[in-house]
Structures are given as C-alpha cells and as structure tokens.
Chain A
Amino acid sequence: EVQLLESGGGLVQPGGSLRLSCAASGFTFNNYAMIWVRQAPGKGLEWVSGITGSGGGTYYADSVKGRLTTSRDNSKDTVFLQMNSLRAEDTAVYYCAKGIRDASKGGVDSWGQGTLVTVSS
C-alpha cells in the first residue's frame, strides 16, 4: 500500500523559510515522479512543483518559481520542498503526491494527508 506522510508545516513570518518533507513507502520510490500540490483556505487545488524519479528534472509553477525548490533523497524515499521568501499568499495545505510515471506529467495516483503552512506576522 502506498503511503505518503508530509511533515514540516507550521507558522512562519513573511519573508521566512520552511522545509517540508514527504516520506514515501509501499512503492519503488525512484521509479516515479513526485508532485507538490497546495490548497489555500477555501480555494481550489494548485499544482506547485514536480520532480522526476531520478531527481534530474524539477519543474515549478510561475507563482513559486525562484522561491520554492523541490528535491528528493532516493536513498531515504523522501521528497522535500524548500520554501524561501514566503508570502501570505503561500498560506495553504501542501500535499505531496505520487506521479503515475517517472516523468512529471500524466497526473498522480496517491496523495498524502497534507501539511498546513501559515505565513503570517
């Protein structure tokens, strides 16, 4: 059974940084892209970032490019989202999700439970 467990969310001041982690189990981690999706309070889902199975390709929505960085440690079956220069509009539940293939396209088939990031002074 695929399991994805996010951690690292919390309250951070504007301009601050936070690092989210997503520990995966139940599948061959390095064979699949991993995707970050977020949902602001009362809003819809937003695709944030994708990383290929090898970690050699990373992709970002325009809204986060240059501020958020996705990486993965395939020896630990974990994907990370480093969040810098945070803004109030980054406040959201952040979900990690398992891609259906190695490449960052085609959708996802499993989701974590999400971790809340609140950017506020």
Chain B
Amino acid sequence: QTVVTQEPSFSVSPGGTVTLTCGLSSGSVSTTSYPSWYQQTPGQAPRTLIYSTNTRSSGVPDRFSGSILGNKAALTITGAQADDESDYYCVLYMGNGISVFGGGTRLTVL
C-alpha cells in the first residue's frame, strides 16, 4: 500500500523561508495527484491553504505557495511568522475517488 510521506518536523526562523514536502513511498507526485495542503493548530479544525497543487484557498496570504519539486509536492512559506507554528498536512489523490493524507509536519518557528 502506497504511503504519503512528510517530514515529521521542521523548524524555521522568524522571517525565514521553509519548504515542506509531500511524497509517495512508491512513485512520483504529479499534478494529477491534485496535492493539497492544510494547516492545523491544536484543538482547531484544519484550514485549507492550497489545493490542486498551487491554488491558494480564499483568504490565504501569498507567502504560502504550492508547487511540484522533483517527484514531490511542496509547500513553501516565505517570511515565516510566529503564528505559522502549526501542523501541516498534505493530501494526494490516489485514483478511484480516494485520497490519502500524509502523516503531517510539525513546524516550529524559532
């Protein structure tokens, strides 16, 4: 069974840039994987950041961007702020109507 992989944790300095990735245990991510990205802080519902690889959801600032880098999907945060400290999840479409979440990346801003 194919697993969606994410870095378990990452840290970034305030004002810095960080790129989180989302891959497959077997195979490459492409635009037909329809990668999407979600931000979640403890106790809160997730918030959609990016869908269909690089489309920002309504109200999401442009310092969040999505792309394909090599064989993975990527979420880049530029000018990191303290309130970007959250868990970030990606989702990939596997076909036949089914999608799978990655395990999530805990981002620390310090």
Q: How many residues of B contact A (CB 8 A)?
A: 27
- Of A14-22, A44-52, A71-79, which stretch is located at the interface? A44-52
* Residues of B close to A60: CB separation below 8 A: 98
Chain B nearest CB, measured from A117 CB (Å): 15
Residues of A contacting B98 with CB < 8 Å?
Answer: 47, 50, 59-61, 104
Q: What is the bound-complex CA distance between A57 and B52, given in angstroms?
A: 21
Which B residue sits closest to A46, measured CB to CB? B101
Chain B 88-110 interface residues, beta-carbon cutoff 8 Å to A: 89, 91, 93, 96-104
Question: Among the listed B46, B52, B96, B101, which residue makes an inter-chain contact with A111, where contact means beta carbons less than 8 Å apart?
Answer: B46
Which residues of chain B are near A106, meaning CB under 8 Å?
34, 36, 51-52, 93
Contact A113 B45 (CB under 8 A): yes
The listed residue with most A CB atoms (<10 A of its CB), out of B93, B98, B102, is B98
User: What residue in chain A is nearest B46 (Cβ atoms)?
Assistant: A111
Bound together, the chains give a CA A45 to CA B34 distance in angstroms of 17
Taking A44-B104, A95-B46, A114-B45 as contacts, is the C-beta distance between A109 and B93 under 8 angstroms?
no
How large, as a class, is the contact surface on chain A? 20 to 34
CB contacts (< 8 Å) of B100 on chain A: these are 47, 61
- The distance from the CB of B93 to the nearest CB of chain A, in whole angstroms, is 4
- Give the interface of A toward B (CB within 8 A): 35, 37, 44-47, 50, 52, 57-62, 95, 100, 103-114
Which 5 residue pairs of A and B lie closest in terms of their CB atoms, listed nearest first? A107-B36, A59-B97, A107-B51, A104-B97, A106-B34
In the complex, 19 of the A-B residue pairs with CB atoms within 8 angstroms, ordered by the A residue number, are A35-B99, A37-B101, A44-B87, A44-B101, A45-B89, A47-B101, A58-B97, A59-B97, A61-B100, A103-B97, A104-B98, A105-B99, A106-B51, A107-B35, A107-B52, A109-B48, A109-B58, A111-B47, A111-B48
Query: In the complex, given contacts A50-B99, A107-B91, A113-B45, what are 20 additional A-B residue pairs having Cβ atoms less than 8 angstroms apart?
Result: A37-B101, A45-B40, A45-B101, A47-B101, A50-B97, A52-B97, A57-B97, A59-B97, A59-B98, A60-B98, A95-B45, A104-B99, A106-B52, A107-B34, A107-B35, A107-B36, A107-B52, A108-B48, A111-B46, A111-B47
